[in-house]
Chain A
Amino acid sequence: MTSSLRRDDPPTDVVAPKAAPSTRPRPRIRPVLLTHLAAALLALLGVVALTFLVGPIEQLRIAKVGYLMLAIAGLQLLVGASGQISLGHGAFMFIGAYATALTVLHAPMVPLAAIMVLTVVVGCLAGIVVGAATARLHGPYLAGATLALAVGLPALALYFSDILGGSNGLLFKMRGAPPELAGLVTDNQWKAWVIWFTVLVALVVLATLSRGRLGRRLRAIRDDEAAAAMAGIPVGRTKVTAFVISAGCGSLAGACEAYLLGTATPSSFSLALSLSLLAALVLGGLGSLWGAFWGALALVYLELAGKELADLLGLSSSVADNVPLVFFGTLLIVIVMAWPMGIHGALSRLSGVVRRR
């Protein structure tokens, strides 16, 4: 098959390139880091603008979407990219929140940025321990081990109640907006910005690594461990790496939550949280960071819708407390049955259809 001129080409066109030397468009490779930084900057500006349009409670919710997205995105790296499963990701949020609380209480001079870095380090260390211990576990065994972590770790707060504050947790004060901006920016607004800035920095790292060699290694391991190993990929070590990064993200998300609320309590890192994170990931869509975004949105706003529904029905509090969970669970089942690839999968299929029109 040689490339020939179209029949209706004018014969005088002698300079037409005859055998164009395989002008297949080379896959273009954009500078990944710059692209991601630019996208993150845009997103941050969007969040800043949004906080001016909404009230203080909504600002808190925006911040919550941010750190939940980070936790889900970390889980996404583990579940969607490397094919491991964790039912205990809330445990790493617990670690981050308590690391933050303890630092603020015992070393109030440490600046916020340093606390955030510290919680990432602590989370990664915990990830190394857990990841190495569970490296040889697959499927249900890994799920079981991480489940035990989610149940066991918050219990520590009760056991070491003199340090970790028991079931009431730790209460502390964190500075909000800097005094120079008083009157212009509310504390809630400022905290939402700080949290989204932190989250976006972490997401840039996640997006960059997913796009490159490490992400490909993880996906290869997820699809076929034997073939990945034959391609020279150290399977065990790479899986632990994914676990550690994912734990670091969870811990940082926990730190953001503690910073926002000024508390760290064991009940906010229950097994239900771990399961909700995983459910939100599936709901949002496995395999893309966008899935984490939709998942976080769903987690915050479906819970809200569930609460409103319970109020509307005038249910007693013992029933009403469970309505959001039931609501979320039902929606999860419906959405996953309708769109097995989650919200992101459905949206990308939709945009594909629209573009083809």
Chain B
Amino acid sequence: MAPTAPSPLMEVEGVTVRFGGLAALSDVGLTIAPQSVTGLIGPNGAGKTTLFNVITGVVRPQRGTITFKGRPLRNHRPHQLARLGIARTFQGLNLFERMTVLDNVIVGADPLGRSRLPGMLTGLGSYQRDERELTDRAMAVLEEFGIADVAHAYPSTLPYGLQKRVALARALVAEPELLLMDEPASGLSGADMADLAATIRRCSQTMGVVLVEHHMDLVMDVCDHIVVLNFGQVICSGPPSVVQADPAVAEAYLGTPVQEAAGE
């Protein structure tokens, strides 16, 4: 990679979130480099999803700043992020259940559209071009993910692994610069998991990826940098080898009642 450290894609500093008496995040900071994979791990309830919610403007932190490409994100709302180049997949599938796979992905491509309200109402202006371009773009991504043959199916009729791919395709179709993935591997089979690892690596050539995951094999395999959260605090951060060797990390995981799914 570049000899000097590239300027970070996103910086999270001093983020604190309290839900009533519960400190979901305390003074959390992390730096996301462009074209890299940052792992965000920690036991259940550590605050990983909450951090995603803060970044995407769903949850307002009591304290802390978020900077994206050198510009602070303040009072931002979730719908503004797509246009900034930030995409997210959810811990659940959160697919649009009553829309076809193709329409799900076209919605992901919505930020690329150019029509404005009058055109959307009348079918004039950029309406037709939007329809063509967004559909073509979505179809291309479906091909890429090997799910073009189910383009007209409804998500709930597909096996779980394919639904996960639809969710990922929807997040990637607008070509974001930062992709936040919340447990993309949960419920996947071994073969799907290998595909996912390849996809994540491919993504990291053009964008920064933040990966929240419980499957340690995958995390250690694809991540350039790992941040470990426990009870809302960063307890360790560094390259995979450092994190793996840290006794505090092992302790945090062993201390939890739920034994994480150890590979297959």
| A interface list, Cβ under 8 A from B | 22, 24, 26-27, 29, 31-33, 36, 205, 208-209, 212-214, 216-217, 219-220, 222-224, 226-235, 241, 245, 287
Contacts and interface: CB of A to CB of B under 8 A. Distances in A.
Contacts of B134: 213
10 contacts: A26-B139, A29-B132, A33-B123, A212-B131, A213-B131, A229-B77, A230-B82, A231-B82, A231-B111, A241-B117
Contact of B96 (A27, A208, A224): A224
Contact of A29 (B87, B135, B171): B135
B87 A230 contact: yes
B36 interface: no
A209 B121 contact: yes
Interface size class of chain B, counting residues whose CB lies under 8 Å from the partner chain: 35 or more
Contacts of A33: 122-124, 127
Contact of B121 (A214, A217, A224, A287): A214
Contacts of B170: 227, 231
B96 A223 contact: yes
A104 B23 CA distance: 65
B56 interface: yes
A208 B99 contact: no
B42 interface: no
Contacts, number: 123
Contacts of B130: 212-213
B99 A27 contact: no
Contacts of B95: 223-224, 227
B195 to A, nearest CB: 16
B121 to A, nearest CB: 5
B82 A27 contact: no
A232 B95 CA distance: 15
A229 to B, nearest CB: 4
B254 interface: no
The A interface, classified by DSSP as helix, strand, loop or mixed, is helix
A152 B151 CA distance: 47
B158 interface: no
A22 B143 CA distance: 9
Contacts of A232: 79-83, 110-111, 174
B209 to A, nearest CB: 16
Interface stretch (B14-22, B100-108, B221-229): B100-108
Contact of B99 (A220, A230, A245): A220
Interface in B128-179: 128, 130-132, 134-136, 139, 143, 148-149, 151, 170-171, 174
B94 interface: yes
B115 interface: yes
In order of increasing CB-CB distance, the 9 nearest A-B pairs are: A232-B82, A33-B123, A229-B78, A223-B96, A232-B111, A214-B120, A208-B123, A227-B94, A229-B79
Given A205-B122, A208-B121, A232-B81, A31 B108 contact: no
B245 to A, nearest CB: 36
Contacts of A216: 99, 103, 106-107, 110
B90 A226 contact: yes
A220 B96 contact: yes
Given A27-B135, A213-B134, 12 more contacts: A29-B131, A33-B124, A208-B123, A212-B127, A214-B117, A219-B98, A224-B96, A224-B97, A227-B94, A228-B79, A229-B79, A232-B174
B233 to A, nearest CB: 26
Contacts of B60: none
A233 B79 contact: yes
A217 B134 CA distance: 13
B123 A217 contact: no
Contacts of B121: 205, 208-209, 214, 245
Contacts of B102: 27
A32 B90 contact: no
Most B-side CB within 10 Å, residue of A24, A224, A226, A227: A227
A212 B115 CA distance: 10
Given A212-B130, A230-B87, A233-B107, A27 B123 contact: no
